[in-house]
Structure formats: structure tokens, C-alpha cells
Amino acid sequence: MPSPNKKKRKALFKILQDHLGRNLPFVLYKKPGAQILTALLQSDKSLDTTLDFKRPGFVMAPFDAGSGGSSLVFLRPDAHYYCKYKPVKHPTLMADPIPNQVGREIHIDLVAEALKDIHADMLQKVVVSRRFSVPFTADLLDTAHGMMLAYPNAFTYLFHHPGAGTWMGATPELLLKSHDGLGETLALAGTRAADPTLAKHNWTAKERFEQQVVTDFIVHQMRAMALEPQMGPVTNIQAGKLWHLGTAIRAPLPMDKAGALLKALHPTPAVCGLPRDQAHSFIRENENYSREYYTGYLGEIGIEQPECFSTYVNLRCIQIRNGRAFIYVGGGITADSDAEAEWEETQQKSTTVLSFLENSWKAIG
């Protein structure tokens, strides 16, 4: 891998703009809380679908490999740039959800179908999602820059590959990272609107159950691989205008087990459900679109140093295609779910993305 080349932000964005103009693969990303932007550029359009943790690069994996033609993409870092990035105070963007009566009815029906299977004891939990689009005419890199300013504590990225499309997002959810032989993941679930007037959050039993299900699943998968997980306390995690419940889970992780653990964890109950195979089947049969890379995972492999990687669940993301931004949102359904409340939760989640798109679209009534 080439040595990293330091650039000023404007110079780096010019390089990326030229690369995009030639339809060549690249990724621009910033880790949570970091003050460095990283850009990895591939010099040709070849599509590598192998992740072996032996080569440095960047992985973009779909929710369901093979679904809708989506496949894992491993971006080769033929060029590596970075720039120092000191966050500046950025006004909080307060986009409102877009009313959508047809979308509301479709999603409420989908939740009702999920509840039927849950009450019939076919499922314990299932995550259902939806997609909608708005016009997108803004500059792609400027939009990504605004997103990074608005969400400094998320993993923010802009990814382009002619074989996978153009995606950007600001995800709060770590899937798996490893450094110096220690693996770490985050059991994240439960959602509510952030209320700055409250010092504590009175989480419902449903929200706590959702988060515990994810925690139990991760611990079980680790122990099944003879790993020894250690759990931190349940904490409140803010992501834009939303709060979630999260538990950090760590375990010693030899690199020869990294790929197997990643496969064992993805997709977690936070984006799929339980039992996982049945929830996966429900999603394929009942969602009226392909998720592609939404609720997949992405991240760097061996960029900072060998045997070091960090991957994140692809949430709060959009796909840019044919002059439109396709927005993906979803939520976990359990026996205590209310269909109307689930619709409202997806509306609130959509505001994270709409906030950094606000200047590039006009709402259509």
C-alpha cells in the first residue's frame, strides 16, 4: 500500500472530483470523533469481491449477498490521502420528516404482517424497513462535507464504485473493530427522539428488550467461537436528533478468527431479527425492495496498521442515483410494537439524512 499523502481539504476534494469524473472507485471517510479525513482511491474499475484480512483496503458489504445483484466490494488503496480536519461549530440542522400517506399505509401493513408472525411464535423480533427518494442536484463532495460537519461523532463516509453505486452515510453503529488483538463491538438498539431537557431517559420495556436481544446474540456468537466477551454498562448514545441504548462488548480476537466472527455477527438482530434465518426470510419475502448495502457493513482493513480494522453497520445512509437520493430507514418489531409508533420512528430516523440533504431537494407533497 502506498504511503499516505497529506493534502489540504480543497486539494483533496479536487483529486476526488477528478477521480469521480472518470467513474473510478474511491472512499472518503472520517471515524467517530476523529480529526482526520481519509481518502482511498482505486486506479481502475475492477471489482474485487474477496475479504481475507490479509490485504489493506476498504470493504463495502451488502445486507444480503447476492440480493438484487449486490456483492461485497473490496476497494484497493492504490492511492492514500489524508487531511487534518478540525471540526468547526456547525449549526444543528433541523429537517422535518416528509409526509407520505401512501408510504405510511404500506409500512403499517408491513408491521402488521410482522406482528402476525411474532404472535404466532414464528419470530421473536424482525427489523422491517422502507426506502423513499428525493431529488438530488447538489455537489456530492460538498454534501458529504456538510454531513461530516453535522455528525462529528458518527462514522461518516462517501463511497463510489461503478460496480456498487454511490453511497454516503453517518452511522452510529460499530459492527466490529480490532486493535492490538482486542476485538470490540457495540450492541445498539432502541430509539427515541433526543430531548435536551431530560437528564435521564425513561426507556420502555420494549426498547430495553430490543437492546438486550442484540447484546445476548453477540455474546452467544462470541462464546460459540471460544471467545471470552466482557460487557460494559448500558449507556445512552446520541446520534443526531435520536438516542439509542448501547453496550460495548470486548474480547481478545486473534486475526485468524476475525473473518469468521464478522460473518457470525452480520446481520445482527439490530438490523435483521431473531431467529435470524426466519427473520431474514421474512425480510426477503415481505419488503418490497432490495436493501442492497443498507444495513450491510463497511470499513477500513489494515489501513492504520496490519491486523487492525474497523467496520460499521451501514445505517442513516443514502444512495445517489439518476439525480435522486434514495433514503433508507427501518425499525425493530417485537410483540409490544405499535404500527403507528413504528411508522413515526422511521420518520424521525429519516431526519438524520434529510438534515444534511436539506439544501439539495424540494419536498414533494
Between helix 9-21 and helix 140-150 the angle, nearest 10°, is 140
Residues carrying an active site annotation: 125, 173
Q: Can you tell me whether residue 9 is helix, strand or coil?
A: helix
- Residue holding cell 418490497? 288
Provide the grid cell at 358: 436539506
How far apart, in whole angstroms, are the C-alpha atoms of residue 264 and residue 131? 27
What is the H or E stretch that residue 232 is in? strand 230-239
- Residue holding cell 427501518? 330
How far apart, in whole angstroms, are the C-alpha atoms of residue 350 and residue 90? 20
Q: Name every residue whose Cβ is closer than 8 Å to that of residue 295 and which is 6 or more positions away in sequence.
A: 63, 127, 129, 267, 271, 272, 313, 314, 315, 328, 330
How far apart, in whole angstroms, are the C-alpha atoms of residue 35 and residue 149? 11
On whether the CB atoms of residues 225 and 261 are closer than 8 A, the answer is yes
On whether the CB atoms of residues 320 and 313 are closer than 8 A, the answer is no
Tell me the one-letter amino acid at 337: S
- Residue holding cell 460537519? 149
How far apart, in whole angstroms, are the C-alpha atoms of residue 2 and residue 76? 11
Tell me the one-letter amino acid at 236: N
How far apart, in whole angstroms, are the C-alpha atoms of residue 365 and residue 317? 23
- Residue holding cell 453497520? 313
On whether the CB atoms of residues 313 and 114 are closer than 8 A, the answer is no
